[in-house]
């Protein structure tokens, strides 16, 4: 891994996870010292972050973490509701028994991670479940688009403290897993879409509360 890529991936993750907040300044010299590199890889990494829409360059080489309007998060949820069911439907023909058994165990574990301190593990399990199935999706461009949208959703959850949208979702995933076992792609699609629409509707139901929410660091 190049120095530039290392810095880029580290900063990108910190922005998505909310460790670097909107409006926070990125100072080249400070980052270079922190990562033990010269300013050149830092500048290259920041340019990549700018192209991702995560930072903005201002006059006099001032770099700020870009804001994340609420509607961007809602749009990401809307697009995921369209794309993720299609990706899972495509994967139906390629699943195998051992994988389905492994995912069933994963869901059992997720059902036990109900305490707030275990929420991070729950989220990891949720994405692992989907990633294991998306790995079988033939349309890789579709999966790339989904991964980008999920990164936006992660940032949305962190900044606006609405991560509870995922709580209890392992029940929906059990239904999807059962449809995979039965080899029913249309049912997989319908259940996955219903799951994503439920999350979208939950976000929309927060309605007028959104403008009152202030991005915060947990």
Q: Which domains does the chain have, with CATH numbers?
A: 3-65 (1.10.10.10), 70-212 (1.20.120.530)
Q: Is 111's pLDDT higher than 90?
A: no
73: confidence class by pLDDT, cuts 50, 70, 90: confident
pLDDT at residue 215 is higher than 70? no
Other residues' Cβ atoms within 10 Å of the Cβ of residue 192? 24
Whether the model pTM is above 0.85: no
What length is written for the chain?
218
Do β-strands 55-58 and 62-65 pair in parallel, antiparallel, or remain unpaired?
antiparallel
Backbone angles phi, psi at 111, to 5 degrees: -65, -20
Residue 24 corresponds to which tokens in the numbers above?
């926070």
Q: What is the mean pLDDT of residues 13-34?
A: 91
- Across the range 56-84, mean pLDDT stands at 90
Burial class (CB in 10 A: 0-12, 13-18, 19+), 75: middle
Between CA 192 and CA 91 the distance in angstroms is: 12
pLDDT of residue 10: 94
Helix axes 140-160, 3-16, angle to 10 degrees: 50
Mean pLDDT score, 125-140:
96
Q: What is the pLDDT of residue 213?
A: 40
């Amino acid at each position: 891994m190049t120095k530039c890529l290392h810095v880029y991936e580290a900063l990108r993750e910190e922005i998505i996870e909310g460790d670097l907040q909107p409006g926070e300044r990125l100072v080249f010299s400070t980052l270079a010292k922190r990562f033990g590199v010269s300013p050149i890889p830092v500048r290259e990494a920041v340019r990549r972050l700018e192209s991702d829409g995560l930072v903005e360059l201002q006059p006099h080489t001032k770099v700020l973490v870009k804001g994340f309007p609420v509607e961007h998060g809602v749009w990401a949820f809307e697009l995921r509701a369209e794309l993720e069911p299609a990706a899972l439907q495509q994967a139906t023909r390629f699943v195998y028994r051992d994988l389905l058994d492994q995912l069933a165990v994963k869901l059992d574990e997720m059902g036990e991670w109900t305490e707030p301190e275990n929420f991070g593990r729950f989220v990891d399990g949720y994405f692992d479940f989907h990633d294991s199935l998306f790995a079988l999706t033939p349309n890789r461009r579709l999966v790339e688009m989904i991964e980008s949208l999920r990164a936006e959703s992660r940032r949305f959850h962190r900044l606006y403290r609405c991560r509870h949208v995922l709580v209890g979702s392992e029940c929906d995933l059990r239904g999807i897993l059962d449809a995979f076992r039965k080899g029913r792609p249309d049912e997989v699609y319908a259940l996955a879409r219903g799951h994503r629409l439920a999350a979208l509707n939950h976000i929309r139901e927060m309605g007028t509360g959104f403008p009152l929410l202030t991005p915060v660091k947990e």
